[in-house]
Structure 1
Amino acid sequence: MKSCVLIAVLLALGHCQAAEVAEPLAVEGRSMGSIILDLLEVFRRLLETGYGPMPKMAPAEVKHQTFKFSTGEFSASGEINDFVLEGLNGFEVIIMDVDAIRSRVDFELNFGSINFTTQYQADVGSGYRMKRDGGAYLALEDFNLKGRISYSLGIISKQMKVKSVLVYPSVGNVASEIENLSKYRIFNRKLNEIVEEFITLTVNENTEFVATWFNELVTPLCNDLIGDRTLSDLIAIITGAKN
Structure 2
Amino acid sequence: MKCLIGFTLLMLISISNAGKISREWNEKMDLNDILKNLIEQFKELMPCGFPDLGVPPLVPFELNHTAFDFEQKGLLHLDAEINDLLVDNLNVFDVVNIDLKLLQIQLDFSFYFEAIQTTGTYKAKGSAIGFIPFNRGGKFAFNFNGLTLDGSIKVAIDGEKISVTDFKLNPTVESVNSKFEGVFILPLNTFIFNKIVEAVVPNFLTDNKEQVASFLEDMIKPQVNDLLDDYTLQDLIDFIGNAISPGQARIC
Deviations 1:84-132 (A, max 9, x none): 3212112111111112123211100011112223456x57577998675
1:162 Cα offset (Å): 2.3
Distance 1:113 1:59 in 2: 13
Paired residue type of 1:150: K
1:55 Cα offset (Å): 1.9
1:45 counterpart residue number: 44
SS in 2 for 1:48: coil
Alignment of 1:1-243 (within 5 A): 1-2=1-2, 4-21=3-20, 31-52=30-51, 53-61=54-62, 83-118=85-120, 122=123, 124=125, 135-154=139-158, 157=159, 159-227=161-229, 230-242=232-244
SS in 1 for 2:47: helix
> Aligned pair in 2 of structure 1 residues 180, 204: CA closer, same or farther (>3 Å)?
same
Distance 2:142 2:183 in 1: 14
Paired residue type of 2:105: S
Paired residue type of 1:192: N
* Higher mean displacement: 48-57 or 181-190: 181-190
Does the 8 A contact of 2:113 with 2:146 survive in 1? yes
Does the 8 A contact of 1:19 with 1:31 survive in 2? no
Does the 8 A contact of 1:20 with 1:100 survive in 2? no
Distance 1:196 1:90 in 2: 22
Distance 2:86 2:231 in 1: 37
Distance 1:41 1:111 in 2: 14
> Aligned pair in 2 of structure 1 residues 119, 225: CA closer, same or farther (>3 Å)?
closer
Deviations 1:4-60 (A, max 9, x none): 333322222222332325759xx9895321222122123323322222022222223
> Aligned pair in 2 of structure 1 residues 117, 35: CA closer, same or farther (>3 Å)?
same
Q: How many residues align?
A: 232
1:171 Cα offset (Å): 1.1
Distance 1:60 1:174 in 2: 19
Is the radius of gyration larger for structure 1 or structure 2? 1
Does the 8 A contact of 1:114 with 1:139 survive in 2? yes
> Aligned pair in 2 of structure 1 residues 149, 29: CA closer, same or farther (>3 Å)?
farther
Distance 1:138 1:22 in 2: 39
Distance 1:215 1:172 in 2: 22
Q: Give the aligned CA root-mean-square deviation in angstroms.
A: 3.7
Does the 8 A contact of 1:29 with 1:100 survive in 2? no
What TM-score results when the alignment is normalised by the length of structure 2?
Answer: 0.72
SS in 2 for 1:49: coil
1:226 Cα offset (Å): 2.9
Deviations 1:113-154 (A, max 9, x none): 12223456x575779986756643211111111011112345
Specify every segment of 5 or more residues in structure 1 that has no aligned partner in the other structure, as ranges.
Answer: none
Deviations 1:188-230 (A, max 9, x none): 3222111212322332222212222322333343333333855
Paired residue type of 1:14: I
SS in 1 for 2:33: helix
